[in-house]
Each structure stands twice: as C-alpha cells, then as structure tokens.
Amino acid sequence: MTSIHDLANPGVQKLTPYAPGKPLDELEREYGITDAVKLASNENPLGPSPRAQAAIAQAMTELHRYPDGNSFEIKQALSAKLGLEQNQITLGNGSNDILELIARTFVMPGEEVVFSAHAFAVYPIVTQAVNGVMKIAPANPAGHAMPYGHDLAAMLAQITDKTRVIFVANPNNPTGTWLPKDELYSFIKNVPENIIVVVDEAYFEYVEEGEYPDASQWLGEFKNLVVTRTFSKIYGIPAVRIGYGMSHPDLADLLNRVRQPFNVNAAAQAAAVAALSDDEYVAKSLETNKQGMAQLIGACEEMDLGYIPSVGNFICIDVASNTGVDTGAVYEGLLHEGVIVRPVANYQLPSYLRITIGTQQENQRFIDGLKKVLAK
C-alpha cells in the first residue's frame, strides 16, 4: 500500500514544522509550577493596548458576519500613516502569511530562494513548501560588529539565473542584528530586477539607530521590493494574527490573487486600526524595552556571559561558552525555575538562548533563575 507520506509533494515531505515557544499553561501543567513567566516568543510584555482590547470587544458583536475581505479600514489607516496608496498594501494572517504568499506567487519547483544563515525559520519553510531550492549565504563571523548577522556580499554571491526571491530580515530574528541604510540600499540596487527582494521589518518599530532604514521609502524606485511588518510585536496583538506587506501596486495585485478570502478576521482588523493610533502605548512599550535591554545586558556583563548586540525586543545570550554548562541543561533548569526562554540551536547557535525583553520583574526572574541554574 502506498504511504500517505509519499503522496505529499517532495518539499512538504522534507519539512519540519515550525516549533513555537512553549506555552505557559503547558509548562505549569507539566512541571507543577505556578506563576511562570514566558520570555520565549518576542511578545510585548505590556499586553495589548487598551484601545485594541476595546475594538476587539466591539467586533465580537458582529461575529455572525464575514470580515471585510478587502480590509478597507486597516488599509486606509496604514495608507495614512505610511504615506502609501491602499493598492500597495497586502494584508496577511501575520506577516509570515505574506512571506508564504510571496513564495507561492514567485517560486516554481526547482527555483532558488536566497537568505542568510541564522535567519528567520519561516524562510526555509515557505521555500520547501513550494519545492524551491534554498541558497543559504554564510553570515558574518562571530567577531564582526554584527556577529552572525547578514553578510550582504555573500548573499549577492548566491544569486544565479534560477534565483527568484531573496529574504532579508532587518533586524534579524533571532540575532537582533541590523543593516544600515546605505548598505541595504546598495544591496537592493545590485539585485537584478527580475528577483523579488523581501525586507522583513517585523521589529521595525523597536529600532532607534540613526542609520536604520525604512525600506518602504524605496518602493517608488524598486518595483521588485516587498517590505513586511506585523502587529504581533510592538503593537501587542499576536493572538489575533495580522501583518502586512508593502510593495508596488502591480506586485501587490499578484499577491492578492493568491491570498485566501477573509484571511484576516474582523477582530484582527479592528484591533489593528485601534493599535495603530495608540501612540502612548507604543512609547511606553519602547521605554519598557529599552530599560529591559539594559537590565539584561548589565546581568550578562556581571556574569561574564557573551551576547549578540540586538536592536529588537529580544537578546541572544551565550550561556555555555564561558560556563562549560550544556545549553540544553540551562534551558531545562530555567523551566524548573518557571522561566520559558527560547533555545536557538535550530538556528545553528547552539550555545545561545534567546530571551524576550519582559517587564522589570520578569527580567529579574530570568536573571535570578539563570544565576541559580549556573551555580548548580
């Protein structure tokens, strides 16, 4: 009898499902722990904005209606905020939905997709799902100013006549490294026009570096450019799933041809419109992140632990190189202390754990737990 596995397309057969961060209730149930903290999924520790919560409550009164399939209100709000036309915006069930739409639209079996080592796990997933060929460029070395970050020259060197899409994360998850304006602009300019360049800006709103670019400002120049962002990070509404892509109208038209009807639910659309206008919440989120990052960096320096400089709402800490302790044992030990973080061995960073910046109290819970685990 033919195996069901053999009936799937070859790319899907080779896929390993995306592994999300461990849920709080699962940890508490399995370990008999209460009041655990989750610092594993780069979530906003402040919770959703009050405006978003109120908008969701209102949307619940219309659950018997299909959502607006064209997402007019959120497109209108984004258009006003970003200075783009509505026909340049594609809405997705999270920005990872946009990444999948791009792969489905532009990559045929056997064609190539370029991305960096240590880059976001969804890039290989969407490539394999359409039977594309992954071309993984070497990243910067450990001693670089942006350790394990994107080496744009190495990425350009991966381009062949079969290349169809290039994914660039700025800043990158899980490393938190970033690319300055001049370097990224020059890179895009050197990519052939028949290759789609995707600049993934999921953590855009957290970055305060002067040379960090807003790649959406280049859409008028590059018809092959897509810039993706999300409401899951600084806007604090990952549970309702909404993100978006910005591009030339012709490119957006193609993405919308393969986008599923009603892929963004009504609660997500309402929450996003409300969250987009909540400047006070965003400012508070930025300040919380800035203070929390300083708190964790200070702890790393106190404990003589290496870390990758990050401009996101997370930081990768090397818990093994200077301690001789197995990273997996540290992760497991932290679980017993009621702290969930994220191992990144699957990103070829086996000595590191990625820690989301939480509240001051959550960060201290992690620091105290890490000291206890390393002292054993």
Which of 77, 15, 39 is closest to 365 using CA atoms? 39
Letter string b/e over residues 301-329, b meaning 16 or more CB atoms within 10 A of that residue's CB:
eeeebbbbbbbbbbbbbbbbeebebebee
Q: How far is CA 315 from the centre of its chain?
A: 13
Helices in the chain by DSSP H: which ranges? 4-7, 10-13, 24-31, 50-59, 72-82, 95-106, 122-129, 152-157, 181-190, 249-258, 266-276, 279-303, 327-336, 360-375
Would you give per-residue pLDDT tens digits along the chain (376 residues)? 678 888 888 888 887 877 787 888 888 888 888 889 999 999 999 999 999 999 999 999 999 999 999 999 999 999 999 999 999 999 999 999 999 999 999 999 999 999 999 999 999 999 999 999 999 999 999 999 999 999 999 999 999 999 999 999 999 999 999 999 999 999 999 999 999 999 999 999 999 999 999 999 999 999 999 999 999 999 999 999 999 999 999 999 999 999 999 999 999 999 999 999 999 999 999 999 999 999 999 999 999 999 999 999 999 999 999 999 999 999 999 999 999 999 999 999 999 999 999 999 999 999 999 999 999 8
What are the two backbone dihedrals, phi and then psi, of residue 350, each rounded to the nearest 5 degrees? -65, -20
Domains, the chain, ranges and CATH?
Answer: 7-38+280-375 (3.90.1150.10), 50-276 (3.40.640.10)
Asked if residue 353 lies in contact with residue 316, where contact means CB atoms within 8 angstroms, the answer is yes
Q: Reduced to 3 states, what is the DSSP secondary structure of residue 296?
A: helix
Asked if residue 88 lies in contact with residue 247, where contact means CB atoms within 8 angstroms, the answer is yes
In sequence order, the 6+-apart residues with CB closer than 8 A to the CB of 197 are 165, 166, 168, 188, 191, 222, 224, 225, 226
| pLDDT at position 81 | 97
Asked if residue 137 lies in contact with residue 158, where contact means CB atoms within 8 angstroms, the answer is yes
| pLDDT at position 10 | 87
Which pair of tokens denotes residue 343?
């191992």
Asked if residue 113 lies in contact with residue 132, where contact means CB atoms within 8 angstroms, the answer is yes
Q: Which H or E run contains 115?
A: strand 112-116
DSSP 95: H
pTM above 0.75, yes or no: yes
Which pair of tokens denotes residue 114?
């370029």
- For residue 31, give Cα distances in angstroms to 36, 188, 336: 10, 48, 7
| pLDDT at position 74 | 98
| 306-308/112-116 β-pairing | unpaired
Rounded Cα distance between 153 and 322, Å, is 31
Rounded Cα distance between 247 and 83, Å, is 12
